[in-house]
Amino acid sequence: MSLLRAEGLTKHFGGVAAVENLTFAVEEGEVLGLIGPNGSGKTTALNMLSGFLAPDRGTVEMGAEVVTRLRPVALARRGLLRMFQVTRLFSRLSAFDNLLTAGMARGQREGEARKRAAALLEELTLTAVMYLDAGQLSGGQRKLLEFGMCFIAPPRLALLDEPFAAVHPVMRETMADFIQRRNAQGHSFLVVSHDMPVVVELCQRAVCMNAGRLLSVGPTREVLKDPAVIEAYLGSGSHA
Amino acid sequence: MTGEANLWSRRLATDFRGALVVLAVTALAPLLVRDTYTLGILIVSMYFALLALGWNLLAGFTGQFSLAPAAFAMLGAYTPALLAYHLRAPLTLGLPAGIIGTAILGWLLGRVVLRLKGPYLALTTLSFAEIARMMIANSHEFTRGDQGLNVSAVTANRLGYYYLFLGLLALVVVLVFELMRSRVGRFWLAIRDDETGAESRGIDVVRYKTLAFALSCAICGAAGALYGTFSQLVSPELGLLLQTGLVIAMVVIGGIGTLTGPLFGALLVYLTSEWMRGVGNIQMIVFAALVILFARFFREGLWGFATRLRARGAAERVP
């Protein structure tokens, strides 16, 4: 049984099909990449998977449970954690308090959340800025902090929307190492990214979307060699 | 603020100490002030401090900009008055009914405005406030309309009322402090800063927003219920938008999103307002101008400004 399965997900905005009949699954313990050119429907798909958008048709299953209409808070409590393309932090609270609040929201006691927060800040190289308000952090630090908030309690599945976009290479490395370490421990990830070298490095499998539809799915290197995927990224005639 | 002092628990602890100092000074004021008129002004300023704390819980800590605190005070004041007028119910029943009734109404309003933000939320709560006031003003047979209703007093002793209000104020300060240092308070701050982010981290936004509405309205309702017995007359004027404007001015000038700010701001603004009566009826012009000035240049209000100065002083003392 898959950890998360999308079956026939469809979402239209007016007359535009943002996502059309999308079916794929995330397996336990894998890092799955969700790739595709701009406007291909990746974020809309992620919004439906994380409960922020109700699909017009189709279902989302988490293990044996149908979770299609559940609110984000209910999904978060089941361990489905989301990182946003544009960071969503508690900007007037310190970085440490952001992690503490996220831990308490996941049911941790304050003492436990404090220990986890301190350890995560160190692992993500944010200890030096732990007392600064989240709103005062740089773009990369904000990404790292939101990333850490997903892991204050181990998630069943982390949905990461463009985690590496506009992030300094050193921070990108920190994040990629973190994902690899957690994946080696059996944690599962769905990573939406435009950064192909990182996708190849991290993701065992990839799903490629174009114009709201599933274009290709399989081992990452094979998906990237798929002529349909190359055409979607580079335009027709590019593989001739 | 820098270093550990910027942690929420530290900021809140400093804030609470500031609030205790304001409460202690207020408790000692009757040693210097003996005349009933001045005591009366201090009592009204404590009534406004309660409204300011209630509104700040919703707007300052949870980020829900309601325009109905005065309306809930009016509803809290009318509940014991109407129960006594129609059912001859004693205040021992009427006062708790005023608090519980406004909490339930606040919870319902919270559910109605759940998905609204910014100006839409403000306009909806304003509409609710005006509808409530107009209904009371126009239901002559049920509420006696603009004539108002008489309410019996809890005590004939003005000093007794002074300490009753102070006791309620201290209770609310401690209650808000305890809530803000618990996970409930943290979740409110998270909702204030980013509702979507809060929900995605596993915070039940619906539950905590409606809880904030219910508690905030109950505090305003409690203030109104006690004030009604003090003035011994309740009328629709209690719910005027002007009163809400005064509450907002108190919180913004004192320091929104803090404990001490609304408390200190309410006492300062109301006492200044009374002092300015002698100059002419220009209080609202002055306070509105001050709100613009604070919103533009001192968003953290007087309390935030004072703590920033204190932190800077401490940093300069470090060798």
Q: Give the end of a domain, one of A154, A170, A205.
A: A154
Question: Domain tally for chain A?
Answer: 2
More confident position, A239 or B10 = B10
Do residues A111 and A60 both lie within one domain? no
Residues (pLDDT < 70) of chain B are 1-2, 314-315, 317-319
Percent composition of chain A: helix, strand, coil (DSSP 3-state, to 5): 40, 25, 35
Q: Give the one of A92, A105, A132 whose C-beta lies nearest to B201's C-beta.
A: A105
Do residues A235 and A139 both lie within one domain? no
Minimum Cα–Cα distance from A147: chain B residue: B201
Give the domain extent around A126: 89-154
Could you tell me the sign of the dihedral formed by the alpha carbons of A159, A164, A170, A171, in that order? Answer: negative
- C-alpha–C-alpha distance, residues B105 and A128, integer Å: 46
A82 interfaces chain B, CB cutoff of 8 Å: yes
pLDDT at position B298: 85
Q: Give the end of a domain, one of A138, A154, A170.
A: A154
Task: Find which of A94, A150, A161 to mutate to test the B interface (most B CBs within 10 Å of its CB).
Answer: A94
Contact assignment for B190 to A92 by CB distance below 8 Å: no
Do residues A71 and A100 both lie within one domain? no
- Percent of chain A whose predicted confidence (pLDDT) is above 90: 86
- What is the residue type of B79? T
φ and ψ at B313, to 5 degrees? -60, -45
pLDDT at position B288: 85
Minimum Cα–Cα distance from B202: chain A residue: A73
Neighbours of A223 (CB within 10 A): 22
CATH number at residue B95: 1.10.3470
CA distances from A174 to A37, A144, B81 (A): 26, 9, 65
A73 interfaces chain B, CB cutoff of 8 Å: yes
A101 interfaces chain B, CB cutoff of 8 Å: yes
CA distance B216 to chain A (A): 22
pLDDT at position B131: 97
Residues of B in contact with A136 (CB under 8 A): none
Residue closest to A22 by CA, chosen among A30, A31, A4, A14: A4
Which helix (H) or strand (E) segment is A136 a member of? Answer: none
Do residues A159 and A225 both lie within one domain? yes
pLDDT at position B295: 85
Tens-digit pLDDT profile for residues B112-142: 998 888 899 999 999 999 999 999 999 999 9
Question: If DSSP codes are grouped into helix, strand and coil, which group holds residue A25?
Answer: strand
Residue closest to B68 by CA, chosen among B146, B114, B136, B124: B124
CA distances from A224 to A195, A205, B272 (A): 12, 10, 71
Contact assignment for B199 to A89 by CB distance below 8 Å: no
Residue closest to B240 by CA, chosen among B74, B98, B55: B74
Chain A with chain B: Cβ pairs closer than 8 A: 84
Tens-digit pLDDT profile for residues A137-176: 999 999 999 999 999 999 999 999 999 988 888 988 999 9
pLDDT at position B318: 59
pLDDT at position A75: 96
Contact assignment for A90 to B189 by CB distance below 8 Å: yes
Q: Give the one of A76, A84, A131 whose C-beta lies nearest to B202's C-beta.
A: A76
Question: Is residue A194 domain-resident?
Answer: yes
Looking at residue B247, the DSSP 8-state letter turns out to be H
Question: If DSSP codes are grouped into helix, strand and coil, which group holds residue B136?
Answer: helix
Distance of alpha carbon B171 from the chain centroid: 13
CA distance B193 to chain A (A): 5
CA distances from B235 to A16, B17, B73, B123, B238 (A): 56, 37, 11, 23, 6
Do residues A237 and A159 both lie within one domain? yes
Do residues A65 and A110 both lie within one domain? no
Contact assignment for B202 to A89 by CB distance below 8 Å: no
pLDDT at position A20: 95
Q: Give the one of B5, B186, B200 whose C-beta lies nearest to A104's C-beta.
A: B186
Neighbours of B130 (CB within 10 A): 16
CA distance A80 to chain B (A): 9
Do residues A240 and A162 both lie within one domain? yes
Minimum Cα–Cα distance from B207: chain A residue: A73
Q: Give the one of B2, B186, B257 whose C-beta lies nearest to A131's C-beta.
A: B2
DSSP per-residue codes, A103-126: HHHTT--HHHHHHHHHHHHHHTT-
Question: If DSSP codes are grouped into helix, strand and coil, which group holds residue A163?
Answer: coil
Do residues A168 and A59 both lie within one domain? yes
Do residues A16 and A29 both lie within one domain? yes
Question: Is residue A53 domain-resident?
Answer: yes
Residues of B in contact with A52 (CB under 8 A): 196, 200
Do residues A163 and A240 both lie within one domain? yes
pLDDT at position A240: 42
Do residues A66 and A171 both lie within one domain? yes
Question: Domain tally for chain B?
Answer: 1
Give the domain extent around B258: 3-317
Which residues fall within 8 angstroms of residue B125, CB to CB, at 6 or more apart?
B66, B67, B68, B109, B113
CA distances from B36 to A35, B39, B163 (A): 75, 5, 13
A90 interfaces chain B, CB cutoff of 8 Å: yes
Q: What is the mean pLDDT of residues A109-117?
A: 95
Neighbours of B280 (CB within 10 A): 8
Tens-digit pLDDT profile for residues A171-217: 889 999 999 999 999 999 999 998 888 899 999 999 999 999 999 99
Chain B residues with CB under 8 Å of a chain A CB are: 2-8, 183, 186-187, 189-190, 192-194, 196-205, 257
- Count of alpha carbons within 13 Å of A24, Cβ hemisphere only? 24
Do residues A235 and A121 both lie within one domain? no
- C-alpha–C-alpha distance, residues A212 and A100, integer Å: 37
Contact assignment for B194 to A101 by CB distance below 8 Å: no
- C-alpha–C-alpha distance, residues B102 and B69, integer Å: 11
Q: Give the end of a domain, one of A126, A154, A182.
A: A154
Q: Would strands A80-83 and B149-150 be described as parallel, antiparallel, or unpaired? A: unpaired
Q: Give the one of A50, A104, A131 whose C-beta lies nearest to B200's C-beta.
A: A50
Contact assignment for A90 to B198 by CB distance below 8 Å: yes
Q: Is A149 within 8 Å of A98 (Cβ atoms)?
A: yes
CA distances from A117 to A92, A108, A109, A112, A132 (A): 17, 11, 12, 9, 14
pLDDT at position B311: 76
- C-alpha–C-alpha distance, residues B51 and B55, integer Å: 6
Residues of B in contact with A72 (CB under 8 A): 199-200
- Count of alpha carbons within 13 Å of A87, Cβ hemisphere only? 26
- If you search the block for the tokens 């740089």, which residue do you land on? A138
Contact assignment for B193 to A89 by CB distance below 8 Å: yes
CATH number at residue A217: 3.40.50.300
CA distances from A88 to A50, A145, B249, B314, B318 (A): 14, 10, 30, 33, 35
Q: Would strands B233-234 and B149-150 be described as parallel, antiparallel, or unpaired? A: antiparallel
Contact assignment for A52 to B196 by CB distance below 8 Å: yes
Label each residue of B272-291 as H, E or C. HHHHHCCCCCCHHHHHHHHH
Question: Is residue A167 domain-resident?
Answer: yes
Question: Is residue A219 domain-resident?
Answer: yes
Task: Find which of B196, B201, B308 to mutate to test the A interface (most A CBs within 10 Å of its CB).
Answer: B201
Question: Is residue A84 domain-resident?
Answer: no
Q: Is A104 within 8 Å of B186 (Cβ atoms)?
A: yes
Which residues fall within 8 angstroms of residue B268, CB to CB, at 6 or more apart?
B250, B253, B254, B302
Minimum Cα–Cα distance from A110: chain B residue: B183
pTM of the model: 0.93
Residues of A in contact with B5 (CB under 8 A): 131
Q: Is B219 within 8 Å of B56 (Cβ atoms)?
A: no
Q: What angle do CA A223, A41, A72 make, to 5 degrees?
A: 110
Tens-digit pLDDT profile for residues A1-38: 899 999 999 999 988 999 999 999 999 999 999 999 98
- C-alpha–C-alpha distance, residues B98 and A177, integer Å: 58
